[in-house]
């Protein structure tokens, strides 16, 4: 009887973990979940096949819908910016790869915002059973059980999740924001700095503490050229771009 009870509890626990695991959103700092699936460019294992590039995985609800179409066209428009930052973009939805290919061909013929036709150079994953979307917590059940939410995972060169964003179906994403986030994260990694609200590439950045004492500043006023303070809690490092004025 005891053994039976133990087996029963073990099964319930295992089921619970499996179900909870299914819907877990990978958190910032965690290893990016790995999956293999068909894409518009053949079978790809994400994120591993993209080596030590940074990666961004975008999910969208459905092919051939207006907001999703505008999003893919804006992503295609930013391809060279992502390339410069060493970012490999990938897209996923629960539609199948045949539909993805038809949609891609259709989008590539459009003249969106008078930019002329543009080739889509990133792969679109199929995910008809939603299995891989679930790995990334991109199916938000109260909204839909079989259509992705608008999800964005930024993953670094070591396959660690560095940024997680979700947007509602009704609101198309500002794709330039993901260029900005990668720029900020890469600068932070390189220079151990943080970026203030509304920061854009080239703007001054925040340092965790003011690096000079008042005595050092008094002895060498030129040090102020590199760093400055706003109030007594915010310390900036001067960059080439915009200064935050006191």
* Residue positions annotated with a catalytic role: 68
d(CA 53, CA 87): 6
d(CA 28, CA 164): 7
* Piece of the chain touching ligand BEZ by CB under 6 A; list 57-65, 96-104, 115-123, 226-234: 57-65
- DSSP H helical ranges for the chain: 2-22, 66-77, 79-84, 97-108, 131-135, 176-191, 214-219
- Per-residue x/- marks for ligand BEZ, 214-243, CB under 6 A? ------------------------------
Q: Are strands 150-155 and 161-167 parallel, antiparallel or unpaired?
A: antiparallel
The minimum distance between CB 112 and ligand BEZ, in angstroms, equals 14
* 130 contacts ligand BEZ (rule: CB under 6 A): no
* 169 contacts ligand BEZ (rule: CB under 6 A): yes
For the CA atoms of the chain, what is the radius of gyration?
23
The minimum distance between CB 66 and ligand BEZ, in angstroms, equals 4
Site for ligand BEZ in 61-80 (CB under 6 A): 61-62, 65-68
* Piece of the chain touching ligand BEZ by CB under 6 A; list 58-66, 104-112, 175-183, 230-238: 58-66
Shorter beta-carbon distance to ligand BEZ: residue 147 or 162: 147
Q: How many residues bind ligand BEZ (CB under 6 A)?
A: 7
d(CA 75, CA 164): 17
Shorter beta-carbon distance to ligand BEZ: residue 45 or 146: 146
The minimum distance between CB 65 and ligand BEZ, in angstroms, equals 3
Coil/strand/helix, residue 124: strand
The minimum distance between CB 107 and ligand BEZ, in angstroms, equals 13
First to last CA, the chain: 74
* 91 contacts ligand BEZ (rule: CB under 6 A): no
Q: Number of helices and strands (H, E) in the chain?
A: 7, 10
d(CA 189, CA 185): 6
- Name the site residues for ligand BEZ (rule: CB under 6 A): 61-62, 65-68, 169
């Amino acid at each position: 009887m005891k053994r039976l009870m133990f087996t029963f509890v073990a099964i319930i626990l295992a089921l619970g973990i499996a179900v909870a695991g299914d819907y877990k959103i990978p958190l910032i700092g965690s290893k990016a979940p790995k999956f293999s699936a068909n894409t518009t460019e053949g079978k790809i294992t994400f994120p591993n096949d993209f080596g030590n590039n940074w990666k961004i995985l975008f999910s969208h609800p459905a092919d051939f819908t207006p907001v999703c179409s505008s999003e893919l066209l804006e992503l295609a428009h930013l391809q060279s910016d992502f390339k410069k930052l060493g970012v490999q973009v990938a897209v996923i939805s629960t539609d199948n790869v045949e539909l993805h290919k038809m949609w891609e061909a259709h989008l590539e013929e459009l003249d969106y915002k008078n930019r002329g036709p543009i080739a889509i150079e990133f792969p679109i994953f199929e995910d008809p059973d939603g299995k891989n979307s679930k790995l990334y917590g991109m199916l938000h059940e109260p909204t839909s059980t079989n259509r992705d939410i608008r999800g964005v995972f930024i993953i670094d060169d070591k396959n660690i999740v560095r940024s997680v964003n979700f947007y509602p179906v009704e609101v198309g994403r500002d794709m330039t924001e993901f260029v900005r986030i990668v720029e900020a994260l890469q600068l932070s990694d390189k220079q151990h700095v943080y970026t203030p609200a509304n920061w854009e590439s080239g703007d001054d950045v925040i340092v965790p503490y003011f690096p000079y004492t008042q005595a050092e500043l008094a002895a060498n006023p030129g040090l102020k050229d590199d760093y400055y303070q706003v109030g007594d809690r915010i310390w900036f490092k001067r960059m080439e771009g915009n200064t935050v004025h006191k």
